[in-house]
Amino acid sequence: MNYTISEITSNKDNLGKEVTINGWVNNLRLLGKIGFIELRDVSGKIQVIVKDQELMEKAKKLTEESCAGCKGILQHKKDDPTKYELALSNLEIHSIAKSLPFTNRVIDELKPNEDTTQKYRYLYLRTERAQKNMLVRSRITKIMRDYLYDLGFNEFETPILGKSTPEGARDYLVPSRVHKGSFYALPQSPQLYKQLLMVAGMQRYFQIAKCFRDEDLRADRQPEFTQLDIEMSFINEEDLFELIEGLLKTIWKEVKGVDIKTPFMRMDYMDAITKYGSDKPDLRFGMEFNDSGNQIYFEADKNESVLEYLKSQRSVYFEEKGNKVKVFVEKPEKEFDYKPYNTLGTARLEVASRLGLNKGEDKFLWVHNFPMFEYSEEEKRFSATHHPFTKPVNIDEKEMYKIKSYAYDVVLNGMELGGGSIRINNMEMQKQVFKMLGLTEESARSKFGFFLDAFEAGIPPHGGIALGLDRLVMLIAGENSIREVIAFPKSKNAEGLMEGSPSDVSKDQLIELGLKLGKSK
């Protein structure tokens, strides 16, 4: 077994003994009579001292980022007895690195663009930052699993090759060779499978699951992403909130050494919108909205940057008031027109940012009592705010706008960490929701018939949540992009720049699948 630098140096028995350390040449200095090799592995770095002239000649073949095994006596550094160095007695060169677009040592000077760090991902993953991020990600998933297993959860795998039921985002499709003309779909989430596991009586399910969405590209989306997916039977919102609060508390404590306060604050969706203009308010600062009858407004400190921003805005207005500024919009006429609130909410965030207020202690929050449906002006129809399996609170309400649901989001500093709901466990109610969404009975049956059948098999009350792993790790690692915490991310164009995916495939492959390319290539 090979030991890492930190494993070797943390074992005091190794001091004064001959050990072998394998790693990468982080830096080299071989002029004069004494040479130095800075050797690096995933656990740290160590200085290797070269005195023997034969070894010096051999070491001169090395280049930065070459891979080598150094044997020698482990000793304290002369100028710093808290550190170690290795007095080289034998050198094995595993492989020589040629000229590289960037190296760990000079990446901060070279600042390669993101395409380059993706194309040469194996080099980028050698940097301290990337390695730390990968290890934190691995550690967080371990903590999640330990926490959930301890509470009697089990991890169950659900299929990646499933059925296409387009609702909302687009599915990735997988043509079937055996059943030509038919397609599997990659899951946008394991939603129906996990609900069926509850019908099966599994009671406490989780899975760290790969999910897929063929969405139009946004800055920080990936075609494939990972979520911690949870479902439980015989629970209510309270049980779920407590579970997730305990989980996040454990992660923050173990990874960041920070005690977060539980229970988290809770806020009604309506309050979040009318007080902060957002369903995921950032509570690290105040600037709550007030209602003057015909205006909604907030007050904030002012500085030049704030005024410059406010002057550039057309849809929000402002008045200077001494050292303060009052920012406002006109109150909407219709009761359920949230647009002016959202506009003011955007201004609130920008003003806070320009005042440097968006920092400090992490503020966790549950937003709940989401509306069951939301109206899309473009599509001229209602869709499910969360998803159509969410349990409505007051389904008999005539105004669809006013129907609330047992849906909830966990929010951190204005970012959604995850969301879930208590699910419908009554077939008539499920059918009614499908109908309200404009699904005909035939169409509901053809898409979800197998799921509706399960309502007649003794379906338990159940609910769950999904936390986005990529974003959670990003926040804990202090990164600004999820691509920094994914080993092999896709580019903004959904391309794998390293391996070159997606790519052409052979005619034979297409013929086998019964497919032809359209004209529009």
* Footprint on residues 166-185 left by its own copies (CB under 8 A): 166, 170-185
Interface of this chain with its own copies, residues 267 to 306, rule: CB under 8 A: none
Nearest residue to 228 (alpha-carbon basis) of 65, 466, 57: 466
Q: Which is nearer to its own copies, 376 or 501 (CB)?
A: 501
**CB nearer to its own copies: pick between 315 and 501:** 501
Contact criterion met (CB below 8 Å) for 227 and 467: yes
Is residue 123 near its own copies by the rule CB under 8 A? yes
Give the range of 49-57, 92-100, 260-268, 270-278 binding its own copies by CB under 8 A.
92-100
* Residue 301, token pair as written in the block: 């400190």
* Upstream peptide bond of 502 is cis (omega within 30 degrees of 0): yes
CB of 220 to its own copies, least distance (A): 16
Closest to its own copies by CB, 163 or 266? 163
Residues 6+ apart with CB under 8 A from 348: 276, 277, 287, 289, 298, 300, 327
Quick check: 321 binds its own copies (CB under 8 A)?
A: no
Q: Site map for its own copies, 36-55, x if CB under 8 A?
A: ----xxx-------------
Q: At what angle do helices 441-454 and 191-199 cross, to 10 degrees?
A: 40
- The alpha helices in 252-284, defined as continuous H runs, are 269-276
Beta-carbon contacts of 56 under 8 Å, excluding residues fewer than 6 positions away, are: 30, 35, 50
H or E element that contains 307: helix 304-312
Q: Strands 173-175, 35-41: parallel, antiparallel or unpaired by DSSP?
A: unpaired
CA distance 137 to 487: 10
- Residue 299: beta bridge partners? 326
Extract the tokens encoding 19: 């050990």
Residue 19 binds its own copies, judged by CB under 8 A: no
Contact flags string 482-501 toward its own copies, x per CB under 8 A? ----xxx-x--xxxx-xxxx
For residue 315, give the DSSP letter. Answer: S
The answer to whether 468 contacts its own copies (rule: CB under 8 A) is: no
**Cβ neighbours around 363 below 10 Å, total:** 18
Provide the minimum distance between the beta carbon of 97 and its own copies in the complex, in angstroms, as a whole number.
4
Q: State in angstroms the smallest separation of the CB of 427 from its own copies.
A: 8
Which residues partner with 49 through β-bridges?
A: 36, 87
Q: Which is nearer to its own copies, 123 or 325 (CB)?
A: 123
Among 84, 193, 328, 389, binds its own copies (CB under 8 A): 193
Q: Which is nearer to its own copies, 223 or 281 (CB)?
A: 223
From the CB of 316, what's the least distance to its own copies, in Å?
Answer: 35
Please identify which residue in 98, 311, 314, 380 interacts with its own copies, judged by CB under 8 A: 98
Q: Are residues 88 and 52 in contact, defined by beta-carbon separation less than 8 angstroms?
A: yes
Cα–Cα distance for residue pair 379/371, rounded to 1 Å:
18
The verdict on 69 binding its own copies (CB under 8 A) reads yes
Q: Which stretch binds its own copies (CB under 8 A): 17-25, 76-84, 353-361, 429-437?
A: 17-25
**Segment 364 to 423, residues that bind its own copies, using CB under 8 A:** none
* Of positions 82, 95, 294, 323, contacts its own copies by CB under 8 A: 95
232 lies in the site for its own copies, by CB under 8 A: yes
416: left (phi over 0), alpha (psi -120 to 50) or beta: beta
Is residue 4 close enough to count as binding its own copies by CB under 8 A?
Answer: yes
In angstroms, give the least distance from the CB of 213 to its own copies.
11
Chain centre to alpha carbon of residue 311:
35
466 binds its own copies, rule: CB under 8 A: no
Least distance in angstroms from the C-beta of 251 to its own copies: 16
Nearer to its own copies, 130 or 351 (CB): 130
Name which position in 19, 37, 134, 372 contacts its own copies (CB under 8 A).
134
| Long-range CB contacts for residues 495-502, cutoff 8 Å, separation at least 24 | 497/115, 497/118, 497/119, 498/118, 498/119, 498/120, 498/121, 498/122
Note the Cα 365 to chain centre separation in Å.
18
Residue 94 in contact with its own copies, rule: CB under 8 A: yes
Q: Is 1 in the site for its own copies (CB under 8 A)?
A: yes
Asked if 461 touches its own copies (CB under 8 A), the answer is yes
- Regarding 82 and contact with its own copies (CB under 8 A), the answer is no
81 near its own copies, rule: CB under 8 A: no
The DSSP line for 26-38 is EEEE--SSSEEEE
CA dihedral 491, 496, 502, 508 (to 10 degrees): 180
End-to-end CA distance of the chain: 52
In the region spanning residues 414 to 433, those forming contacts with its own copies, defined by CB under 8 A, are: 425-426
Q: Is 460 in the site for its own copies (CB under 8 A)?
A: yes
Residue in 24, 84, 264, 373 binding its own copies, rule: CB under 8 A = 24
Minimal distance, residue 284 CB to its own copies, in Å? 31
Radius of gyration of the CA atoms of the chain, in A: 28
d(CA 192, CA 451): 7
Per rule CB under 8 A, is residue 115 in the interface with its own copies? no
Residue 487 CB, shortest distance to its own copies, in Å, is 5
Task: Compute the distance between CA of residue 489 and CA of residue 114 in angstroms, rounded to an integer.
Answer: 11
